[in-house]
């Protein structure tokens, strides 16, 4: 009896603690909505380890895990992993199922035989018209449909027709439809975009949230919206290239009594179009009752000063982003800005705007949290000295071809304590501009709040030493050089390797527009040795490095 050992039973972790720990682990494997093959394996390992620790896992079904970003299942192997997770009782707030998997026999078998797996899918992504025609099973709890065609475009009606057939019954849970065109659309292809949406809304009567992102030559999208009240009263997001729309049509759509758009983006591309902003359209934007987020990017146009004032005084807006060539000041202009408590995000990328004017604007926006600015030329030191915003804002600053007097706005006054995101742009391979940047690059170390740096410049070896010595930068985004052919005729891999060796504070590196020029295997050894670097990835490539 004296030698009998007392066994202490360990307490069972409460569900809310397990839920919190899993969410933290899973979120750590995301980077800006990016989740790849390696990430899924890491998440699978998390659930396996918790399953080993929690012996009564199957008897203790966890509440829904609310991840900050959705889970994307675009390939068969990720779907198979998802089926294991769902079997464990894990629930997800949003699972996006890529329609391309429908042709995989194992995916079909899993989906047809396991209703709980079908019911876990909340969003269905379709990027080919054949996907719905291949369905041999129904998704009973779909909440959203995303129509996207990244490579080629066929008539939208072909995408929708299987849904309208009698074989596909109405889904009461379906409330959202997104239409994303990511390629150039010829005129004839846009004729049938709005009409099929109208038919879709007629069958699935609970649809209340329609989002359209149309790319080049999409004037018929805006032209046809007003013909179908059932669409316009549910259209919440509209993102169009301004080059190719008819200004009168978009004005009519915005002033329609059923219009309930909340997010509107009108962006002009580098290719000039015939559309030009006019007073009726500006008035519609200034007075629209439901728009809360407005983005106008028209870098070759001038914005009237009274329009700028009216938009800033609009108490419906929470986010306002403006990119213009200049402000067209009226002769009788006086900057009478009213106090606006609703705007929290503001972008003012305008070439002739002064820091004095920016300061007076910020003073009238007490709840402003984020400010985006751009510097295009030499900065007047006396002007920037007047920029003393009272609110606690963070600044995203873009510097375009203007590096000679960086000291004036990076190491003095208010900017150096507020800039957390900096973009450096050289429009072309101008050696003089690059030398000016290199001469002043050390000044970036004075930006104590800088966390993210976006380099839209030639990525040369000369940048590596100053980048390596800057320990403030945590996230680096690099626009890689465009190659006319696929030969490896640059030193991008070598420069990246030296950067990984030199800067031991970086946490992520994102490569934009890389083509097929990055040799991730070449970087892998040094990447694994890095104490803080978690990701090297590109949204354009399937490869990445991730811990």
Distance CA 54, CA 71 (A): 24
pLDDT in tens, 307-329: 999 999 999 999 999 999 999 98
**What pLDDT is attached to residue 488?**
41
**What pLDDT is attached to residue 334?**
65
Average the pLDDT over each of 86-90, 171-175, 233-237, 531-535 and give the range with the smallest value.
86-90
pLDDT of residue 361 exceeding 50, the answer is: yes
pLDDT of residue 189 exceeding 50, the answer is: no
Nearest one of 135, 36, 47, 145 to 91, comparing CA atoms: 47
Distance CA 523, CA 65 (A): 35
Q: How are beta strands 535-537 and 544-546 bridged, if at all?
A: antiparallel
Strand, helix or coil for residue 495? helix
Domain boundaries, the chain: 14-113, 143-276, 292-418, 451-546
95 within 8 A of 64, measured Cβ to Cβ: no
Contact partners, residue 5, CB within 8 Å, separation at least 6:
none
Helix (H) / strand (E) element for 502: namely: helix 492-502
pLDDT band at 484 (very low <50, low <70, confident <90, very high): very low
Backbone angles phi, psi at 309, to 5 degrees: -65, -45
**What pLDDT is attached to residue 217?**
53
pLDDT of residue 439 exceeding 90, the answer is: no
The residue with greater pLDDT, 93 or 176, is 176
Distance CA 371, CA 323 (A): 13
Backbone angles phi, psi at 6, to 5 degrees: -90, 125
337 within 8 A of 364, measured Cβ to Cβ: yes
3-class secondary structure per residue, 39-99: HHHHHHHHHHHHHHHCCCHHHCCCCCECCCCCEEECCHHHHHHHHHHHHCCCCECCEEEEH
pLDDT of residue 409 exceeding 80, the answer is: no
Mean pLDDT for 122-131 is 72
Percent of the chain with pLDDT over 70: 79
pLDDT in tens, 262-277: 999 998 876 566 778 9
Distance CA 492, CA 170 (A): 52
**CA–CA distances in Å: residue 391 to residues 360, 371, 385, 414:** 12, 11, 16, 12
Q: Which two tokens stand for residue 200?
A: 């879709």
Strand, helix or coil for residue 543? coil
Average the pLDDT over each of 49-63, 82-96, 157-171, 252-266 and give the range with the smallest value.
49-63
Strand, helix or coil for residue 213? strand
pLDDT in tens, 11-35: 666 777 777 888 788 777 765 455 5
Distance CA 250, CA 294 (A): 14
Distance CA 327, CA 305 (A): 6
Residue 62 buriedness (CB in 10 A; 0-12 / 13-18 / 19+): middle
The residue with greater pLDDT, 518 or 164, is 164
């Amino acid at each position: 009896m004296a030698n009998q050992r007392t066994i202490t039973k360990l307490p069972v972790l409460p569900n809310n603690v397990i839920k919190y720990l899993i969410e933290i682990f899973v979120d750590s494997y995301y980077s800006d909505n990016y989740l790849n093959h390696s990430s899924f394996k890491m998440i699978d390992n998390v659930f396996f380890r918790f399953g080993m620790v929690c012996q009564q896992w199957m008897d203790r079904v966890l509440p829904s895990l609310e991840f900050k970003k959705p889970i994307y299942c675009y390939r068969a192997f990720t779907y198979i992993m998802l089926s294991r997770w769902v079997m464990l009782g894990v629930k997800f707030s949003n699972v996006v199922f890529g329609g391309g998997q429908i042709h995989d026999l194992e995916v079909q078998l899993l989906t047809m035989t396991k209703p709980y797996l079908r019911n876990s899918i909340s969003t269905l992504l379709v990027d080919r018209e054949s996907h719905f025609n291949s369905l041999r099973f129904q998704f009973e709890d779909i909440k959203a449909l995303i129509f996207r065609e990244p490579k080629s475009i066929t008539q939208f009606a072909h995408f929708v027709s299987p849904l309208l057939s009698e074989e596909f019954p109405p889904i009461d849970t379906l409330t959202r439809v997104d239409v994303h065109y990511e390629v150039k659309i010829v005129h004839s292809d846009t004729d049938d975009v709005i009409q099929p949406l109208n038919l879709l809304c007629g069958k699935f009567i609970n649809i209340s949230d329609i989002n359209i992102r149309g790319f080049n030559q999409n004037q018929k999208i805006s032209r046809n919206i007003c013909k179908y009240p059932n669409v316009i009263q549910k259209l919440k997001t509209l993102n169009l290239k301004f080059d190719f729309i008819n200004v009168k049509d978009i004005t009519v759509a915005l002033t329609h009594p059923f219009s309930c758009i909340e997010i509107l983006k009108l962006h002009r591309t580098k290719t000039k179009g015939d559309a030009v902003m006019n007073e009726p359209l500006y008035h519609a934007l200034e007075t629209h009752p439901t728009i809360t987020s407005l983005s106008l990017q028209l870098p070759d146009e001038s914005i009237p000063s009274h329009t700028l004032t009216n938009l800033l005084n609009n108490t419906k807006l929470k986010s306002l982003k403006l990119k213009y060539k200049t402000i067209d000041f009226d002769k009788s202009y006086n900057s009478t800005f009213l106090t606006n408590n609703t705007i929290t995000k503001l972008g003012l990328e305008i070439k002739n705007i002064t820091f004095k004017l920016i300061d007076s604007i910020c003073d009238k926006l007490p709840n402003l949290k984020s400010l985006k600015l751009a510097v295009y030329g030499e900065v007047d030191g006396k002007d920037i000295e007047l920029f003393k915003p009272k609110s606690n804002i963070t600044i995203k600053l873009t510097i375009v071809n203007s590096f000679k007097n960086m000291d004036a706005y990076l190491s003095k006054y208010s900017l150096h304590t507020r800039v957390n995101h900096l973009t450096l742009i050289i429009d072309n391979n101008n050696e003089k501009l690059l030398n000016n940047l290199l001469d002043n690059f050390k000044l970036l170390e004075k930006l104590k709040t800088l966390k993210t740096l976006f380099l839209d410049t030639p990525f040369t070896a000369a940048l590596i030493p100053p980048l390596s010595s800057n320990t403030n930068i945590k996230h680096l985004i690099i626009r890689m050089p465009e190659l006319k052919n696929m030969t490896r005729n640059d030193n991008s891999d070598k420069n990246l390797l030296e950067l990984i060796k030199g800067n031991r504070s970086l946490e992520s590196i994102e490569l934009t527009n890389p083509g097929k020029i990055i040799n991730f295997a070449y970087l892998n050894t040094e990447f694994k040795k890095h104490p803080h670097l978690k990701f090297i990835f590109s949204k354009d490539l399937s490869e990445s490095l991730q811990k």
